[in-house]
Each structure stands twice: as structure tokens, then as C-alpha cells.
Amino acid sequence: MKQMKKNGQGKAFPYNIFLIGFMGSGKSTISKYMKKTYGMEVAEMDQLIEQRENLSISEIFRIHGEEYFRSLETNLLVEIQKRTNTVVSCGGGVPMRACNVREMKKNGRVVLLTASPETILERVKNSHDRPLLEDHKDVDYISELMEKRREKYEEAADVKIETDQKDMQTICEEIIKKLQELDQV
Ligand code: S3P
């Protein structure tokens, strides 16, 4: 960790960082920022799945069903093990499968990003690429689904970062500080 560099040279982290959290918790945005600032590689799971299937996430859900999509996620996680120095932006449902959590922990640290249902709604309200929220863009529905997932999210997490009302730099610095603290234990 001490050798972390901002210029893309060298290894920022001796493991992969898996960003987990509810839809709209900021995983994609933060992973892009980590790439820019710390020269890490990025694996954006939803985007990789879309490219490989040549379908959008919504189309995959509609044509093949959710279970098919969940298996694509699990297979991709296994493949990602071959990478290093990568920040992985996981789909929001990834921690719901125990096998996915085991896979992430093999060569990675798991960082949970959280935000209030109100913040989540604000961030997702204008997008149409999340089939699970498409007809449910309201605080009650988001709160309920978040509550159903909370335990699994928290069990999977090595560190937890609240993102409400924080800018990207603050969030990234918190991630790095908490990971460093973890490494020193
Ligand atoms: C999902 C989250 C989405 C995407 C899919 C299912 C979920 O990713 O994988 O729509 O179950 O929470 P984001 O968390 O990146 O929006």
C-alpha cells in the first residue's frame, strides 16, 4: 500500500477492489475515479456482460430471465480472478449469492458503498437501464429492496463507506484510508 502511485505506474493495491452496493450507490462513478486518480484497471461488470451478450441488461432480463443474468455475473467473477490491480464495479445483486462473495474474497477486498433511499432515487430516476427499478422509482420500493439486501451486503463487506452528500474525492480517500487500516491489522 505504501507504494501507491497516482500516475498509473506500479501497483496501487496488491489485490482487486470489489465495489458493491445498491443500484445508484456510486460504484461505476467511483471506479472511474479510481482509474483516473490511482491508475487502477476497471472492470465494469454490467458493461462487460452487455458487450459479451450483445444485449442491454434490460434485454437480457426480458429475453433470458434474471437467473440467466445472475449466472453470467457468477461466471464473470470467476474470470476476473485472473486480473490484478483492478477495481471491479459489481452489479447491485452480486453479493446476494454466497458463491459470488467467496469468489470476490479470494483475491480481493470488498467495499460496500451506501446511500439513503432518497439519494438513490435522485441518482437513478432518469435512467432506464435497471429492470428491477423500472416501474418502481419511489422511495418506499427502494427502501424495501434495500432492507431485504442489507444483511447480505454487510456480511460481504470488508469496509463500508457512506456516500450521501460526499464528493468523489472524499469517498475515494475514505476507501483508501479504510483499506490501508485493514491491511495494517
Ligand atoms: C441489479 C443492479 C444493476 C444490474 C441489474 C441488476 C441488482 O447494476 O446488474 O440491473 O440486482 O441490483 P447496478 O447496481 O450497477 O445498477
More confident of the two residues 109 and 4: 109
Q: Exposed, middle or buried: residue 147 (CB in 10 Å: 0-12, 13-18, 19+)?
A: exposed
State the distance from the centre of ligand 1 to the C-alpha of 4, rounded, in angstroms: 30
State the distance from the centre of ligand 1 to the C-alpha of 131, rounded, in angstroms: 8
Atom of ligand 1 nearest to the CA of 133: 10
State the distance from the centre of ligand 1 to the C-alpha of 5, rounded, in angstroms: 31
**Ligand 1 neighbours by CB, cut-off 6 Å:** 23, 27, 46, 57, 91-93, 130-132
- Phi first, then psi: what are they for 159, rounded to 5°? -140, 155
- pTM here is 0.94
- Residue 5, pLDDT above cutoff 50: no
Of 51-55, 60-64, 84-88, the range with the lowest mean pLDDT is 84-88
CB-CB contact of 149 with 22 (8 Å): yes
pLDDT, residue 11, reads: 57
Atom of ligand 1 nearest to the CA of 49: 9
How many other C-beta atoms can be found within 10 angstroms of the C-beta atom of residue 5?
Answer: 11
Structure confidence at residue 7 as a pLDDT band (50, 70, 90): very low
Structure confidence at residue 12 as a pLDDT band (50, 70, 90): low
State the distance from the centre of ligand 1 to the C-alpha of 166, rounded, in angstroms: 22
Share of the chain above pLDDT 70, in %: 93
